[in-house]
Amino acid sequence: MKATVHVMLKTGVLDPQGEAVKTALGALGFDGVDAVRQGKVIELDLAETDAATAETTVTEMCEKLLANTVIESYSVQIG
Amino acid sequence: MRAAVVTFPGSNCDRDLAVAFEQTGFEVTRVWHKDTSLPDNLDVIGLPGGFSFGDYLRCGAIAANAPICREVKAFAERGGHVLGVCNGFQILLETGLLPGALMRNANLHFICKPIGLRVDSAESPFTAAYGKGAEITVPIAHHDGNYQIDDQTIARLDGEGRVAFRYLDNPNGSAGDIAGVLSANHRVLGMMPHPERAIDPLHGGTDGRAMFSSLAEMLVSA
């Protein structure tokens, strides 16, 4: 079973890398980019076959390691 | 007095930290990240700077889950002293022993230079010898030193004397100009600047030495 985790900086946390990407896009002539936020996508291949159990386990992984919940939020997608 | 310095794959200030402890009277044992126990009768653990596990995932995140870090955490929770410098600070935040998080520097540059700090709390064995308000110069060398924490928590930390150091001229965007913080019992210190790189005149300054000698004096008198 596959799981996909998206990790993003929480709303309100300044994202220096996103700001730099936005500036670089402007320099390339891409006008009208109001905001850029940069995050991570983590793909997992799991032995688990039950979707509900997989979601519980991956959520625990996010809390313990994959995200730093002080500054980051995460979402889990199963399948 | 006994100190342990932990080495992770990618640590690069472990020897410097060990030398700083040795020169201020500590007997130092080097500990490997896969070790599952600490030396007996330990007074302080040093978590060194560097790029543990290549800064993969987040700085310090993998190291914080290394086997030795369970022991470091238990040691701190028993009231032991822990000093985390640079990557060591990042690891302490990832273990949850200290509050807040470190992000990429606001200007996105790796910054490597001596920097002015103000001692904002002398209420710890690491900072007592400086005295509150003292200004010192210590090197920084980091890419991810932008300390982030909410304003309410900063106010609480200030009230509890837990902001150990502030930058005189904030180099990295840190909230409240914070360069180093203490745990609730004031025995765990995490900081981005490198005191161990300022202990010998050949380093260009010796302002970091008092941090180690301050701890040593406190332990001797205890």
Predicted model pTM: 0.94
| pLDDT tens figures, B129-164 | 999 999 999 999 999 999 999 999 999 999 999 999
What amino acid is encoded at B104 in this protein? R
Residues of chain A neighbouring B101 (CB-CB closer than 8 A): 68, 70-71
Q: Which residues pair with A74 in a beta bridge?
A: A7
A66: closest chain B residue by CA: B57
Other C-beta atoms closer than 10 Å to the C-beta of B136 total 22
Average pLDDT, chain B: 97
Question: Is A24 part of the contact surface with chain B (CB cutoff 8 Å)?
Answer: no
Cα–Cα distance for residue pair B124/B128, rounded to 1 Å: 6
How far A61 CA lies from chain B's nearest CA (Å)? 12
Residue B91 confidence (pLDDT): 98
Total beta-carbon pairs less than 8 A apart between chain A and chain B: 33
Mean pLDDT of the A24-31 span? 95
- pLDDT at residue A36, rounded to an integer: 95
Average pLDDT of every residue of chain A: 95
A12 confidence band (pLDDT: 50, 70, 90): confident
In 3D space, the residue among B201, B132, B134 whose CA is nearest the CA of residue B161 turns out to be B132
Please state the rounded mean pLDDT for residues B36-54.
97
Q: Tell me which residue of B79, B80, B104, B100 sits closest to B89, measured CA to CA.
A: B100
Predicted pLDDT at B221: 87
- pLDDT over 90 (residue A45): yes
Q: What mean pLDDT do residues A27-39 have?
A: 95
Considering only CB atoms, A20 lies closest to which of B61, B99, B108, namely B108
**Which residue of chain A has the CA closest to B148?**
A71
pLDDT score of A6 more than 80: yes
Helices B87-95 and B67-77, interaxial angle, to 10°? Answer: 70
Q: For residue A79, what pLDDT is reported? A: 87
Give yes or no for residue A26 having a pLDDT over 90. yes
- What are the chain A neighbours of B60 within 8 Å (beta carbons)? none
Q: What percent of chain B has pLDDT over 90?
A: 99
pLDDT band at B37, cuts 50/70/90?
A: very high
pLDDT confidence band for A14 (50 / 70 / 90): confident
DSSP reduced 3-state for B2? strand
Here the ipTM equals 0.85
Which of A:28-47 have CB within 8 Å of B? Answer: none
Residue A13 in this model has a pLDDT that exceeds 90: no
Min Cα separation A15/chain B (Å): 8
CB contact under 8 A, A70 and B100: yes
- Per DSSP, the residues of B92-132 read HHHHTSS-SEEES-TT---EEEEEEEEE----STTTTTT-T
The residues that bridge with B5 in the sheet, in sequence order, are B30, B46
Whether residues B148 and A71 touch (CB distance < 8 A) is answered with yes
The residues of B annotated with a catalytic role in the active site are 86, 194, 196
Mean pLDDT of B101-117: 96
Distance from CA of B61 to the nearest CA of A (A): 7
pLDDT at B222 > cutoff 80 = no
